[in-house]
Amino acid sequence: METTAHNTIARRDPALVMRLSRLGSVHQCRLSFMRTLTRRLAEENWSFARPHFDINEQGVGHAVYTATGPQRTYSLVAFAHDLPPEMRSDRVIATAWDATFTLFDGVPTAEDIERLSKNVPYQEAGRVDEQSLSVSRANRSVRLWEHMVDALSHGRQPEAETVDSVGYLMRSTAVYGSGKLGAADFEKIACRPEMAAPFQAEMLSVYLTRAFVRDLVNHMARMRGGEQAVELDKETARSLGIGNSTGLGMAPFIINHPVLFNNWIEAREEAIARVRSLPAATEEEVECFRGLFARSQASVAAWHSQHPVQIGKLEDLNSDLEKITAHLNHTDLTRSTPWDQLYTWAEGALSEEGQELIASLILEPYGDLVDGLSVSMADGRPDALLINGAMTVAAVRDLIEASFGWTLSTDWQAKENCARAWYVSEEKLEPRLGERFEEPIADYEQPLAPARDAAAAHAALAEWDGSLPVAEFLLKHPEHRHTVRRVQISADAPYSEIQDNTISAEVLPIDMLRFKLAVFGATHFDPRSDRWVRICMYGNAPYPEELTKENADRWVYPNAEDQA
């Protein structure tokens, strides 16, 4: 991370930022991985092609989409299937899908495609090799797909209301990268500039998938309607994103990758601090902000959820938007330290949804100040995992108190504080969260309660002479080794730990999923329960052949092409 010496406003306190309810209120921003990708694709003038599209009237076949940058080509190899409706499920435990994909490193030969066709459609039951950078699958939105094919095949455009109520034609249900199912380890691509920011291969795969899905719906309408069929109009196509249905797997990820988790948050916090530290804003910057605020209102207006928690949060957010509008109407943003004053006002006046919206939105006029931070979001410190055994017991205790001070007064024996346990099911290794006192799962618990474990380690360390090296303690107490590792990481990574109870009776795993998905750049979070959430990716984004420097960044706010 670059120096912060020139910032007059400090980064926000981890005690504020790292609460689950706030992480569960984060919105996408300039640093979101999707926007980092589309900016680069446009800046470097990447070219796109569709060398194969071989799909029959049943919707079965394959297609290849290529993306070529200054040094390399990546190919999305897509397989389309005829899935019986009763097999359609977003769950990890599904065994068949409407479409399956791999992002191939380079351009696949006919032999490669033949080999992939025998593996990719089976996902976890197949194998790929190091030429694959990701493996993914997607299911049709039953509500929209048939309506769309039917309308287009009869020569009509789909009804806008039906399109808007869903927002995507297919939703992906898993995008596996970094070594999963035999694919290449991240290390293979880590040194490539286009892959330096996190999850760029996965984001590219999803971006190309969206183009494939649009082409497929046009193709199926043509197969059904023949001469009568029409193409989906460009504007409607542009409004469609690719859906995603995400379950509990993302929650363990952020706990199991504390350095990465820290870097994602620290980059955004540094960006917020830089912008809040600006002594003044130009007219142009203020106009940019005001324009994008208006457009973000349009985005929120199109965000629907049936889940009571999110319905409440959306009510809060809509009320916040009204307050922001009123506040902006009588606020001169060209006066001194405007962004800090706006944010400080938001902290006192708005819900966490509204505060985080403002925190993300004030970054918008400042690409030069912010975008360079995206490279620091990767984890470039593998040695951070090494334990320093020479550190004294007293120093480790101090670190626990710094990162987990809030947890030391928690009664971890009380049932409500440890009601849940995270485990992995034998069934397709699906991550799950269960009731510790009602189900036989405690023996299978995964180490996803760092706060409880930190309290236990702190109590054990209290029995030890503070001047001894922690190596002596770890020799006798290997059960606290993972905690000592985590707190030593936290010494240099202030945003590495969730400062909340991840196993309480009240925990909402969707808060963790929301955070990770917002960092990716997702919008329109629609929880389906407390443990899985649907989102939209790349809604309103230009398609590969439409991508320009002008529309590559702010597409996330509706009407981007007129106002970018």
Partner 1 sequence: MSFALNEIEATAKRAASGAGLSWGMAEEAAKAARWLCAQGIDGAAVLAAVLEQNGGKAAADLRPASLSGDWRTDGGTLCPLFAGASLSDCAARLATGRITLQAVSHPAMLLPFAAAAASQLGKAVTLEWEGCAAVTDGRSVSVSGDALLQACVSGASASLGGSLDAPLSQAARATPGTAAWESLNRFAHRTFAPATEASRLAGAGAGLSDND
- Please list the residues that pair with 168 across neighbouring strands: 241
Q: Which of 65, 69, 73 is nearest to 45 (CA)?
A: 69
Smallest distance, partner 1 to C-beta of residue 248, A: 6
Q: Give the per-residue contact string, 122-161, with partner 1 (x = CB under 8 A; - = no).
A: -----x-xx----------xxx------------------
Q: Does residue 185 belong to the site contacting partner 1 (CB under 8 A)? A: yes
Residue 374 or 488: the one with the smaller Cβ distance to partner 1 is 488
Q: Does residue 89 belong to the site contacting partner 1 (CB under 8 A)? A: yes
Residue 430 or 546: the one with the smaller Cβ distance to partner 1 is 430
Residue 97 or 343: the one with the smaller Cβ distance to partner 1 is 97
Q: Give the per-residue contact string, 244-263, with partner 1 (x = CB under 8 A; - = no).
A: -x-xx---------------
Which of these segments, 467-475, 495-503, 517-525, 550-558, binds partner 1 (CB under 8 A)? 467-475
Exposure b/e, 438-448, CB count within 10 A at least 16 = b? eeebeeebeeb
Q: Does residue 241 belong to the site contacting partner 1 (CB under 8 A)? A: no
Residue 291 or 389: the one with the smaller Cβ distance to partner 1 is 389
User: Which sign does the torsion angle of CA 468, 472, 476, 482 carry?
Assistant: positive
- Please list the residues that pair with 136 across neighbouring strands: 101, 175
List the interface residues with partner 1, window 526-555 (CB under 8 A): 528-532
List, edge to edge, every strand of the sheet that includes 241-246.
Answer: 47-55, 61-68, 73-80, 99-105, 132-140, 168-177, 241-246, 533-537, 523-527
Residue 15 or 386: the one with the smaller Cβ distance to partner 1 is 386
The correct pick among 99, 149, 359, 470 for binding partner 1 (CB under 8 A) is 470
Q: Does residue 380 belong to the site contacting partner 1 (CB under 8 A)? A: no
Tell me the C-alpha distance between 195 and 243, whole Å.
23
Cα–Cα separations (whole angstroms), residue 388 to 467, 477, 486:
15, 15, 11
Tell me the C-alpha distance between 486 and 387, whole Å.
9
Spell out the SS3 assignment of 270-314: HHHHHHHCCCCCCHHHHHHHHHHHHHHHHHHHCCCCCCHHHHHHH
Structure tokens at 119: 């593996």
Smallest distance, partner 1 to C-beta of residue 397, A: 17
Tell me the C-alpha distance between 174 and 244, whole Å.
8
List the interface residues with partner 1, window 317-376 (CB under 8 A): none
Residue 366 or 423: the one with the smaller Cβ distance to partner 1 is 423
Residues lying near partner 1 in the complex (CB under 8 A) are found at: 85, 88-93, 127, 129-130, 141-143, 178-180, 182-188, 245, 247-248, 306, 383, 385-390, 423-427, 429-434, 439-441, 444, 447, 469-472, 474-475, 478-485, 509, 528-532
